[in-house]
Amino acid sequence: MTRGNPCQLPGMLSNYDPNDSEAGMKILEDLTENVEQIQQRVLEEIITRNARTDYLKGFLDGQFDKQVFKKTVPVVNYEDIKPYIERIANGDSSNIISAEPIIELLTSSGTSGGQPKMMPSTAEDLHRKTFFYNLLVPVMNKYVDGLDEGKAMYLLFVKPETKTPSGLMARPVLTSYYKSNNFKNRPFNRFNVYTSPDETILCSDSKQSMYCQLLCGLVQRQEVLRVGAVFASAFLRAIKFLEHNWKELCSNIRTGHVSDWITDPGCRKVVSLVLNKPKPELADLIEHECNSKSWEGIIKKLWPRTKYIEVIVTGSMAQYVSTLEYYSGGLPLVSTMYASSECYFGINFKPLSKPWDVSYTLIPNMAYFEFLPVKKKNEDGAQYVQCNGVCKENCMEKETEKEDVETVELVDVKLGQYYELVVTTFTGLYRYRVGDILMVTGFHNKAPQFRFVHRRNVVLSVDTDKTSEEDLLKAVTKAKVIVESLGILLIEYTSYADTSSIPGHYVLFWEITSKGNNHLPVLDHKIMEQCCSTVEESLDSVYRRCRRKDNSIGPLEIRVVQHGTFDALMDFCVSQGSSVNQYKTPRCIKSGEAINILDSRVVARFFSQKAPFWEPV
């Protein structure tokens, strides 16, 4: 067993000191040079460990062979494995899918039947994540000097968790990681010193957590070299919070006394230590900046030594780039990694590249990766479903039937091609369709690099919510019943995610008419607001959590438009190349011009007046 040589131990993880950037770079070079061997060893190891699980036994019939694995184990969606996950949640032994004990279930932002999907996780998996996080350090150090000379103001949060009937924790992947010993007892690493004490990150009251983290960040402003959050939406939420609370934060800094409503004992204790004593000059300085009319470039003004903002701005988060640029004053936006509840996938080896140029290199010892080819529009005559998600690309998703699925291995993907990612993990997922569409943009050594294109079936997303066309249709159908009982018909609808203000919110455009004549009915405010609430109540649990608990989505809005508006939308789409014969109203629109066409014909606007019901799974 050679320390630091991942080729010898692909499934295991080399233990290296993240303070040692050279060793880190060497590991990354090894990993990306030996992709094929590592992927083969990973698959071998997963099969060897798990061939006797109920799940694999059924397909492999006692054989440990990779070819048999690929021939007999089907490519699956969550619905196919849900019964196994539910059995484990209800007390069955986890070895029905994984030889390693499953210690918790990670609740994904992807949903099934309205509830978060649950992904298995093992103790070893936490080490795999730590290994992955440690690899980010040498990559950043390669491009940005002196990160060990100051601190990172990362605003990190935990989310609510529950226990399954069998007593396993069910919680989001990051909550699981921050609460683990791998995070809490992490060895000191001079490249990763945070301004937020762990107690503030681990505080379950998100408002207290946000307040305390910002307070600590402001007090240590001269030491801050980078700022960030996991997703762009969360970082912008923090800026909005600051906009609403800077006076109180400054008053705390001025007096050296933390506000009384900070009642979490852990937070109070650590924040008082950071605050230490009254700092009137610092409070004056911050107040001066926050008081200025425009908040353009506020990040650089408040944290003047900041070199970059670390937030994911790819995928659905790309909609926040311009707002972030406004607040950042031209700082680079850095998306470091691509990961999920299923598995951590890839690292951005060129962290300073522009958001639209970001590619992720999949790390070959994280899982066994396969790829389902996705055709580009009009590439052949087959039936395709239009990809009208957050993606602006001209790609189409083929409705893949289980029988005709042919995957490609990591080393065999082709430059410029689109693929859906399929993973076989160390935690009990076998040939599992993640649902993300990626495009190959290049290679780092022998490791392919991918641009995140979009997530399959997602049409609306403001924060971590992922609403499909089907979810939207179901929700609108419920609201439609309300107006129909009053003699009003919903003729057409479409939607878009309005992120022009923070938090963003869903907007539905409705064209309605009175039954029996073609007139716009008189609209009752209460009824229309009820329609807004009904749509919200009918959306999935991640939407409802973001809206109710995290306040990361604002009240849903219905904009009623004049008669003929959807004809005007059709004319526009046809003028842009849609076929008149095959035209179908898009259920979600992205184009600014199309939104303007609808917006210019709005006759009334209604907002949901109450946050929808939500509780943990």
- Give the interface with ligand AMP as residue ranges (CB under 6 A): 108-110, 173, 312, 314-315, 335, 338-341, 434, 436, 452, 455, 464
Beta bridge partners of 369: 423
Q: Which residue's CB is nearer to ligand AMP, number 334 or number 488?
A: 334
Q: Which of 28, 80, 46, 30 is nearest to 370 (CA)?
A: 46
How would you class 44 by CB atoms within 10 Å of its CB: exposed for 0-12, middle for 13-18, buried for 19 or more?
A: middle
Minimum distance, C-beta of residue 33 to ligand AMP, in the bound complex (Å): 24
Whether the Cβ atoms of residue 380 and residue 466 lie closer than 8 Å to each other: no
Report the SS3 class of residue 513: strand
Minimum distance, C-beta of residue 464 to ligand AMP, in the bound complex (Å): 6
Q: Which residue's CB is nearer to ligand AMP, number 480 or number 544?
A: 544
Return the ∠ at Cα 306 (arms to 303 and 310), rounded to 5°. 115
Minimum distance, C-beta of residue 321 to ligand AMP, in the bound complex (Å): 12
Q: Which of 63, 69, 105, 111 is nearest to 87 (CA)?
A: 105
| CA distance to 246, 254, 340, per residue, from 284 (Å) | 11, 8, 42
Tokens standing for residue 364: 């070959």
Whether the Cβ atoms of residue 423 and residue 434 lie closer than 8 Å to each other: yes
Q: Which residue's CB is nearer to ligand AMP, number 128 or number 455?
A: 455
Minimum distance, C-beta of residue 328 to ligand AMP, in the bound complex (Å): 18
* One-letter identity of residue 501: S
Q: Which residue's CB is nearer to ligand AMP, number 434 or number 558?
A: 434
Q: Which residue's CB is nearer to ligand AMP, number 110 or number 554?
A: 110
Return the ∠ at Cα 425 (arms to 419 and 427), rounded to 5°. 150
Minimum distance, C-beta of residue 465 to ligand AMP, in the bound complex (Å): 10
- Alpha helices by DSSP H, listed for 62-168, are 66-72, 78-89, 123-143
Tokens standing for residue 613: 């019901």
Minimum distance, C-beta of residue 497 to ligand AMP, in the bound complex (Å): 15
Which residue's CB atom is positioned nearest to ligand AMP?
A: 315
Minimum distance, C-beta of residue 425 to ligand AMP, in the bound complex (Å): 13
Which DSSP state fits 376? B
Minimum distance, C-beta of residue 360 to ligand AMP, in the bound complex (Å): 7
How would you class 90 by CB atoms within 10 Å of its CB: exposed for 0-12, middle for 13-18, buried for 19 or more?
A: exposed
Minimum distance, C-beta of residue 87 to ligand AMP, in the bound complex (Å): 21
Which DSSP state fits 472? H
- Regarding beta strands 224-231 and 151-154, do their DSSP bridges make them parallel or antiparallel, or are they unpaired? parallel
